[in-house]
Structure 1
């Protein structure tokens, strides 16, 4: 059985190949049951959560991501979240690989946003703003640069020091990145605004979005959280990764729905529709587009398969 740790997982998931793999998976016959959430008692501490995200392509591969969230791990100097992905044969059930869950999740999340941008951002989009300074920020820079001619990149965060650190890391990878301290001004000039935060209140205001802008929302993952205001949803053509996920978890969609700002019919398409050309995506240079992602198990499966097959290539060549 193959075991891919964090660095090996990253090495096996090149951006262009990962974006293509996720696109193919959205076109496939992948089966994706609803994810499982289980409360786990931890005596004397806050309850933990066990999440299971299964998916399979009949006769091909079966996979499940296992994620544990232990909120009080900071008391013992450990991360709150641990995750692994188990990939098995869809023909025999034989376990094939264990893939680092954190790296897989981060990279597939950014790659999915880039896939959406391929359909929804202007083809000449060159000015990228990343809102948030967490783990995903570097991945978003790399992923969006794989699908659009990004030339100017800025980063905004609540803590300017964290933003500068992220910018330094991006520069070390060869990207020209600056730190923005004025979010409104940065949004007003950006072609793509990619938000990866844990905000409970809107950060990006619809009035700031210029004609032709693409707003990518991936951070807020609960109905009580949001990164955009009602005006952003009102002005934009709205797209989601999956309708089921958006209608159960995405505060950026659920809150304006509840307020009557939009209806379910205002969600133009999801990535299934875009991938199979049931919807064309962006329809004009002036259109403002909004993409809300909450994550889908098929994205993890696509990444795990790619990582496994890429890592096994040298052995296949030796046998040949």
Structure 2
């Protein structure tokens, strides 16, 4: 659960179920990164993974990309086909790729949203101009991007650099040389760092998630619930003595 308190009074404002909130804030962070780091004409999205995080990524990225096609790959062909049908039900064209290399072919933006321990996206799969949102691994000993894929990147944005040095296995496994390319996503958004040096640049957002993202989304959810009369209001007065 995410518990939201008033900054002014300290009173409890809301208790919000965390799983869906976490999916939405992770998708939103990728959408922000994609808005500022992907090519402006990006229209083909590749997604590795077919679970709830993958769906949230599609939902968010469909808001910032003029999508013409979504390619999907999952180790379970059935899950990939189900995900493709879901994408089509939202009004977008979708195809199921046969393997990791195929899902990368001809795309502009790639999302990796898996629980894989071992990296599966190789440098040879990445074309110039591609933007990658790597969201699956948040452990130092797990990765989705192979070191040679990470080293293809000209700019790598993260939620927080200090956190990434501890938890971003994709970057840690690529070695010390990679850290000169790592910047806070906030610096990209405010223009301190160019998120895309050129159309041919390869860019990466390594997502780990930070508390402020949960906080901002929780406040938005709370404000909307109050405005629209949603949720269940609970009276706590007199409960605690």
The match for 1:123 is: 40
The match for 1:280 is: 194
Q: Does 1:133 align with 2:50?
A: yes
Q: Does 1:249 align with 2:167?
A: yes
Q: Does 1:202 align with 2:116?
A: no
The total of aligned residue pairs comes to 228
Distance 1:188 1:162 in 2: 20
Distance 1:227 1:253 in 2: 10
Distance 1:290 1:168 in 2: 28
Deviations 1:53-85 (A, max 9, x none): xxxxxxxxxxxxxxxxxxxxxxxxxxxxxxx11
CA contact (8 A) 2:67 2:92 kept: no
Counterpart among 41, 47, 64 of residue 147 in structure 1: 64
Aligned ranges for residues 185-200 of structure 1 at < 5 Å? Answer: 185-200=102-117
Counterpart among 197, 205, 220 of residue 306 in structure 1: 220
CA contact (8 A) 2:48 2:103 kept: no
SS in 2 for 1:189: coil
Gaps of 5+ in 2: 230-241
Shift of 1:278: 1.1
More strand by share: 1
Deviations 1:99-123 (A, max 9, x none): 1101100010011011101111001
- Going from structure 1 to structure 2, the CA distance change for 1:207 and 1:311 (only over 3 Å counts) comes to same
Gaps of 5+ in 1: 1-83, 316-320
Q: Does 1:240 align with 2:154?
A: no
CA contact (8 A) 1:130 1:154 kept: yes
The match for 1:266 is: 181
SS in 1 for 2:105: helix
Distance 1:215 1:293 in 2: 10
The match for 1:224 is: 141
Distance 1:169 1:245 in 2: 34
Shift of 1:138: 1.5
CA contact (8 A) 2:70 2:95 kept: yes
Cα RMSD between the aligned structures? 1.3
Shift of 1:263: 4.1
SS in 2 for 1:256: coil
CA contact (8 A) 2:151 2:178 kept: no
Q: Does 1:290 align with 2:208?
A: no
Distance 2:28 2:92 in 1: 18
Distance 2:178 2:223 in 1: 42
